[in-house]
Structure 1
């Protein structure tokens, strides 16, 4: 058994080195030295770079007001930005709250009936894009909050990129126990497994990462890839849009946006369970073989060392727990590296074994939801 945990420790130490290197590859949105953008040349003249901030909102009465307040506070300093909210058949007064919070600076649209073959968020985003007039489209979720200079930072990054898509993972605020166990694992997955330079450098659509809470995309790139119409039935719409951009020849840039953007995606354990249950199985391509392989690897690396330490400690054989403890500490060091990239508290690294255990349970539930007579529910809609 010692040989197994020695091997696990070695693998985790290599993963730690990769995670440290990988996290350092993330360019920061708004970092010093990023080229500021004031204007773009247009037929020999110049005009201000136009930005459309687009917010799909379905039953977001608790979020939309604060979201718009932060967006309006960020759209100062000469930024030419239109702000559009689409009220997607809300039943809680979201549209009225958005109109009041906008104070005349926000356009609120009423969403059309969901057509056959479309999923809700993609349809809402498609309507927003159709109504937008900006050179760049910034799709935000209603639970996102921007810092005062976030839009200028976004425009600077857009000017440096010249086109394509820019995205990143907002700093996640958490409150309930399952949020703290599960939500930071989004960044963990990216930092530990996806070579970040390849997101931009490689044309392979498998090398992508995206977060639907913050997607900045050039209008030409959006149109070239087919926009949300091209991914109308995809459950994990952010990743699907990023892949579509790459397939159309565009670039995707993953950036560290945690200093400029934060959010609280879920507010209780039930929301965490429902949200991840909807996305996990679709996110790995609906492959049961791949799901099983991932669960075996995650359990071997992150759960079994903790279980072994507990077992040997309770059985009065602390000496036998040496290598399992080494593996456990190495895993926590990897988690701390990803948590630092996501600006999470230091002590969250201690939650890794419990987080992986809960993630496994949600992943199995996600697989079961994909089977006949299964399905998922989110925001009052049912998905097959």
Structure 2
């Protein structure tokens, strides 16, 4: 029986140790937007900010106000009300009346084979006049210099697409833990420092900030080309890179924040269902979470002393990964302590998502059920 403990402990040491060593040496190669000068050399291009809002009465006004305060002047803001049932439509109308560069669009029906957010962003893009499109979310807060720096960086590096890893703000600690896990994993295991390399296959896209040239967006077929994929933001980045366009990802530390990504633990668990709604994926999520996120903690108290030491070493590597990530992202250096909690959330969310999708015939997200037979994650 002891050999099982040794194998599990050893596998965790190898996996977490390898990625911790690699990420420690490479993390600094992912740039930080705030370190960019915001002095534009040429006439700044018009940017069309497109925001899809579904029941966002708590966040929308705060987001728009942060955009209005941008030092970047050539800006239009297109708000798309995606079948909201709260005061979102009224807030949009009030903001449109207050600011001449803010326009609102109401959507009352969702066509077949469309995700709600993708459809809303697509409709908003058709109203846009900008040379660049910025797809973002209603719960995002922008530092006044964010867009100026983003445009300067994109022009300097001749980019077609720029995406930013946001900071996670607000009082909800579960959101901060989850955000740190998601983007620490993406940055390290996904080797995001390679995204800028045209020859590398790595790509990325984040719903908080996807700045893309209009001609590039149209060149990959717009959101129509991936209308029924739940991970629309990541897919956008993937298609842009695969088409041969230049792309980069930066830390948005001090420049871009998400306010209360999820306001409660049930919301966080429910978000997992958006990506894990089939039993094979749920089984994979459960297995990997149990073996690599939860077992090392229990392994501290199980098996022979040598196997316990292996688990302790693997946890030290996990803590170090979160620490390195925090040095660049602005997250908490101690967030590694929540690693097994996030693992449990992934397991519960994945299993519940697969069960609900099988009983309802589809994945339910923000009040809409999508047919899982055609839906992709």
Which secondary structure state, in structure 1, belongs to the residue aligned with residue 69 of structure 2? helix
Counterpart position of 1:257: 252
Structure 2 alignment gaps of length 5 or more: 372-377
Q: CA deviation at 1:30?
A: 3.7
Structure 1 alignment gaps of length 5 or more: 40-46
| Compared CA separation, residues 104 and 192, structure 1 to 2 (3 A) | closer
Asked if the contact 2:269–2:349 (Cα under 8 Å) also holds between the matched residues in 1, the reply is yes
Deviates more, 1:298-307 or 1:345-354: 298-307
**What's the TM-score, normalizing by structure 1?**
0.85
Match of 1:94 among 74, 81, 88: 88
Q: How far does the alpha carbon of each residue in 1:305-336 deviate from its partner, in whole angstroms, 9 at most, with x for none? A: 21021447xxxx87873332222222222232
Deviates more, 1:174-183 or 1:6-15: 174-183
* Mapped pair 1:366 → 2:353: yes
| Compared CA separation, residues 160 and 95, structure 1 to 2 (3 A) | farther
Which secondary structure state, in structure 2, belongs to the residue aligned with residue 278 of structure 1? coil
Asked if the contact 1:258–1:343 (Cα under 8 Å) also holds between the matched residues in 2, the reply is yes
Counterpart position of 2:75: 81
User: 1:10-49 to 2 correspondence within 5 Å?
Assistant: 10-32=14-36, 34=37, 36-39=39-42, 47-49=43-45
2: CA distance, partners of 1:204 / 1:383: 34
1: CA distance, partners of 2:173 / 2:76: 38
Asked if the contact 1:30–1:156 (Cα under 8 Å) also holds between the matched residues in 2, the reply is no
| Compared CA separation, residues 173 and 25, structure 1 to 2 (3 A) | same
Q: CA deviation at 1:202?
A: 4.6
| Compared CA separation, residues 9 and 215, structure 1 to 2 (3 A) | same
User: 1:232-247 to 2 correspondence within 5 Å?
Assistant: 232-247=227-242
Asked if the contact 1:22–1:196 (Cα under 8 Å) also holds between the matched residues in 2, the reply is no
* Mapped pair 1:154 → 2:150: yes
1: CA distance, partners of 2:104 / 2:267: 26
Asked if the contact 1:19–1:334 (Cα under 8 Å) also holds between the matched residues in 2, the reply is yes
* Mapped pair 1:306 → 2:297: yes
Which secondary structure state, in structure 2, belongs to the residue aligned with residue 346 of structure 1? coil
Q: CA deviation at 1:180?
A: 4.4
Deviates more, 1:360-369 or 1:256-265: 360-369
* Mapped pair 1:267 → 2:266: no
Which secondary structure state, in structure 2, belongs to the residue aligned with residue 253 of structure 1? strand
Match of 1:329 among 309, 316, 321: 316
Asked if the contact 2:230–2:274 (Cα under 8 Å) also holds between the matched residues in 1, the reply is yes
2: CA distance, partners of 1:183 / 1:29: 19
Which secondary structure state, in structure 1, belongs to the residue aligned with residue 49 of structure 2? strand
Match of 1:354 among 341, 348, 353: 341
User: 1:86-165 to 2 correspondence within 5 Å?
Assistant: 86-102=80-96, 103-105=98-100, 106-111=102-107, 113-165=109-161
Asked if the contact 1:36–1:155 (Cα under 8 Å) also holds between the matched residues in 2, the reply is no
Asked if the contact 1:68–1:98 (Cα under 8 Å) also holds between the matched residues in 2, the reply is no
Which secondary structure state, in structure 1, belongs to the residue aligned with residue 210 of structure 2? strand
Counterpart position of 2:374: none
| Compared CA separation, residues 274 and 54, structure 1 to 2 (3 A) | same
1: CA distance, partners of 2:247 / 2:132: 14
User: 1:158-307 to 2 correspondence within 5 Å?
Assistant: 158-173=154-169, 175-176=171-172, 178-202=174-198, 207-263=202-258, 264-280=260-276, 288=280, 292-293=283-284, 295-307=286-298
**What's the TM-score, normalizing by structure 2?**
0.87
Which secondary structure state, in structure 2, belongs to the residue aligned with residue 200 of structure 1? coil
Which secondary structure state, in structure 1, belongs to the residue aligned with residue 33 of structure 2? coil
Q: CA deviation at 1:60?
A: 0.8
